[in-house]
Structure 1
Amino acid sequence: MPDFPAPTVRVVDVYPYREATSGRQFLVLHRAEGHAYAGAWRMVGGKIDPGETAWAAALRELREETGMVPRRFWSLPSVNTFYDWSRDIVALAPAFAAEVQGGVTLCAEHDAYEWLPPAEAASRLGWPEQQRLLRLADALLEAGPLAPSWEIPLPPRGKNGGHS
């Protein structure tokens, strides 16, 4: 049997949402030209820095890509799994949901954003696993209280209004 590398955890997915008067909405971001996945609608995501936890990377990516700090932050009880043929690895991406409020400030990686109802937001995402995870986040919120073990306590807010 050929050797196959162990699954790797190098990236995170974050599914920002808000509770609007018209119902729950999820944020989708349009990737700008010159960046990976240019022209695609995506959720927040990115690499885990050396020495960084997955949940800290998720908070950092949310802040960097949208300028937002969550009021509630939790880990989905599932991961995004995919095969990266260019590196011949199976990748595992921890997935998080973040309840946010306020305006979006896009970074240069994105050129547009939309707040959409769950089904429409999921249909914008190109990867089936990301569609599944967004739907899972919505279903868990609809089902009632989240399991306490999924909730991630947020660090105290820093002087700049963000979490330190």
Structure 2
Amino acid sequence: MLEARGPGAAAREVREETGLDPGRWWALEGVGIYFHPPTGQARVMAMFAAEAGAADRVTLSREHAASEFLGAAAAGRRFLWAAQRRGLESVQREVLRGGALARALEVTQMMKRTR
């Protein structure tokens, strides 16, 4: 079920919260696992990376007050959760280096089908 809902949910969240429609997407190798206190359950979360165009502008949803584009180190310092920092490290290692791994993880065509 995660495979069917994960990509669609990720694309929908990006559109709803930022107004962006990224041109490229990658499914990161790892998943996030966290404990959800209200339900008493451990949850598994697929992690995706998306590439926005240099001229794209963020349109904030009601859930956000501001946006800012930062380098990896500055962004990492603002993250609350260690899992978020690990996700950022995954993007650097798996996507930004390019090569065979980045090509294997690219799911752009799958994401286009979920629109």
TM-score by length of 1: 0.60
2:95 is the counterpart of 1:141 = yes
Q: Which amino acid letter does the alignment assign opposite residue 112 of structure 2?
A: P
CA distance in 1, matches of 2:13, 2:45: 13
What's 1:88 paired with?
A: 40
Matches within 5 A, 1:1-164: 53-101=5-53, 102-145=56-99, 146-152=101-107, 153=109, 154-155=111-112, 164=115
**How many residue pairs were aligned?**
108
CA distance in 2, matches of 1:139, 1:149: 13
- Give unpaired runs (5+ residues) of structure 2: none
Max Rg structure: 1
Q: Which has the higher contact order (CA 8 A, sep 6+)?
A: 2
Higher strand share: 1
Deviation track 1:136-164 (CA, whole Å, cap 9, x = no partner) reads 102223432234442111427xxxxxx83
Q: What SS does the aligned partner of 1:111 have? A: coil
Q: What SS does the aligned partner of 2:112 have? A: coil
Matched-pair identity in %: 34
- Give unpaired runs (5+ residues) of structure 1: 1-8, 10-51, 157-162
CA distance in 2, matches of 1:100, 1:116: 13
CA distance in 1, matches of 2:37, 2:15: 30
